[in-house]
Amino acid sequence: MSGFTGTGSLLRLALRRDRIQIPVWLAAQAAVLGGSGSSIVGLYNTVEERESYATSTATSVVSVAFNGPTSGPSMGSIVTSETFLVSILLIAFMTTFMVVRHTRQNEETGRAEMVGAGAVGRYAMVTAALVLAVMTDVVFAGVSTLVLFGFELPAGGAVLYGVALCLAGITFAGVAAVTAQIAESARAANGLAAAFVGLSFLLRAVGDATGDVVRNGQYVESSWPSYLSPMGWAQQVRPFSDDRVVLLLPSVVLFGVLLYLTTVLAAHRDIGTGMMPVRPGPARAPRSLGSPLGLAWRLQRGSFLGWAIGLLVLGVSFGAVAKEVDAMVSGNEDLAEVIAQLGGTENLVKGYLSAILGIGVLIACGYVIQALLRMRSEEAGGMLEPVLATAVSRTRWLGAHVVCTLLGLIALVVLYGASLGFAYGLSSGDPGGETVTAIGAALVRLPAAMVIGALVVAVFGVLPRLAVPISWGVLAAAFLVMQLGAVLELPQVVLDLSPFTHVPNAPAAPVEALPLVVLTAAALAIGGTGLAVFRRRDLAM
């Protein structure tokens, strides 16, 4: 028996397990890229508007750091600048989660030991996971290329966009395969892989932000840190502009190195263990772990810290450029109209702040979903049964997770509003007043975020096996409605499906209490329904 015996059977099993999640990821990419691309084509339909965009973004450090380097005034370059980094992040997280789920998670739950009792080689499980990831990355890139074809962009650039995206995803698949060998648990493996993604983003952002503006002020030549990052390699290919095919090679080489390292690590460890030594815990647990609320906080504190840092950086970055909005949209009436529609006011700065606050709170809903889905992980991993075997009731256990998540959400919303308001206030001359105003405007959107959380609780109670794809799908749908609803002129009945449609556009508009009361009542009713069903259903693995 070779080390790869059984790979085909495990690949078919992995495909069956991911038969819902993979189409959701692909649909999300098609929706995000399609919606963003169509809005960009509509906003920059003249040469003057595209040149104004290239000039303004090339000189904006924040824009370059968060979107990537500007590559000129062509429509393809603008679409790439606005969408490519989001596409890379989507494929990176899709791929890393997939590889860890079919390797380290299988070992953590005991599935790998059962599978290993049959005629399965040592490398079969990780090989099946990597083959599935590569296949999915190819389809993901193919979907992206087809979407770009729909905008009548040059075919060569669209294909190169897809190829660079695919190789970036394959590289991160190799990273996840290595972290799955190193870490002791799936959560730790995902954390290490996410840290690598974050480091790649940081190196690329520093390199792009410190680059030189050349070619009539419409092109950013990134500095050396960008060339140390897999994200940077993909972006430096520059489809629709320079078409640097040679920069596809570093991703191929790195994947080969990671693949070799994976086989070496897999050959020198036992199933269920990692290469990193497990740090022994304290002899006595803190008293806080004796309560469901303390346990919920212990499980959520790591992810809370990560989301807090990310939102703090976003708040400061977006707030620092708020005063420059008028200059950035000068000469582009379509873009000014979009900001006015998103913010609900003709005052571009107030409209920008309103739109950015809504986006930030919606991003904070990602923490809500991740924290609440921890309940599903506890249930599926068999860790919930021992807890419920004690004096802890189902209501108390679920309520502890909900309360802890709600407190974390409030803290994140306040932090984001304070950082955005303070950064804007420093440039406008009133940091104290703008900070208070931004915090209040951010909290106005809290009931809408509570509805998103309540939907997660309801799905967990009613359809636990589909809780993950449905929950993230709800967030993706809300994001698309917020970002593209006004631009695409969607029917009002579609816009009303998002709870964020019903909150006042503070600080650009006066705050009315009735929508907030209705949204809060809806959140309580939806969450209560999920709790009622969870109390009566069987635990699902």
**226: which 2 tokens?**
């960008």
What is the pLDDT at residue 468? 84
- Tell me if 87 sits within 8 A of 254, measured CB to CB: no
- The angle that helices 155-182 and 75-101 make with each other, rounded to 10 degrees, is 30
- Local structure of 46: helix, strand or coil: coil
In one letter, which amino acid is 321? Answer: V
Q: What is the mean pLDDT of residues 244-258?
A: 95
How large is the C-alpha radius of gyration of the chain?
24
What is the pLDDT at residue 347? 66
- Local structure of 221: helix, strand or coil: strand
**532: which 2 tokens?**
């009622």
Q: Among 218-232, 261-275, 362-376, 441-455, name the one with the lowest average pLDDT.
A: 261-275
Q: What are phi and psi of 219, to 5 degrees?
A: -145, 135
* Res. 191 pLDDT band, cuts 50 70 90: confident
**DSSP per residue, 157-219:** HHHHHHHHHHHHHHHHHHHHHHHHHH-SSHHHHHHHHHHHHHHHHHHHHHHHHTSEEETTTTE
What is the pLDDT at residue 385? 87
DSSP code for 220: E
Residue 455 has pLDDT above 90, yes or no: yes
Residue 409 has pLDDT above 90, yes or no: yes
Average pLDDT, the chain: 86
Q: pLDDT per residue over 497-514, tens digit each?
A: 889 888 888 887 788 889
* Res. 130 pLDDT band, cuts 50 70 90: very high
Q: pLDDT per residue over 44-85, tens digit each?
A: 878 888 888 888 788 777 778 778 888 888 999 999 988 998
- d(CA 88, CA 83) in angstroms, rounded, equals 9
- d(CA 254, CA 194) in angstroms, rounded, equals 17
Q: Among 9-13, 159-163, 381-385, 421-425, name the one with the lowest average pLDDT.
A: 381-385
- The angle that helices 186-209 and 155-182 make with each other, rounded to 10 degrees, is 140
How many C-beta neighbours within 10 Å does residue 327 have? 12
- Tell me if 515 sits within 8 A of 535, measured CB to CB: no
Q: pLDDT per residue over 310-322, tens digit each?
A: 888 888 888 877 7
Task: Give which of 90, 227, 100, 240 is closest to 158, Cα–Cα.
Answer: 240
88 class by beta-carbon count within 10 Å (0-12 exposed, 13-18 middle, 19+ buried): buried
What is the pLDDT at residue 418? 94
Residue 334 has pLDDT above 60, yes or no: no
- Tell me if 392 sits within 8 A of 479, measured CB to CB: no
- Tell me if 442 sits within 8 A of 416, measured CB to CB: yes
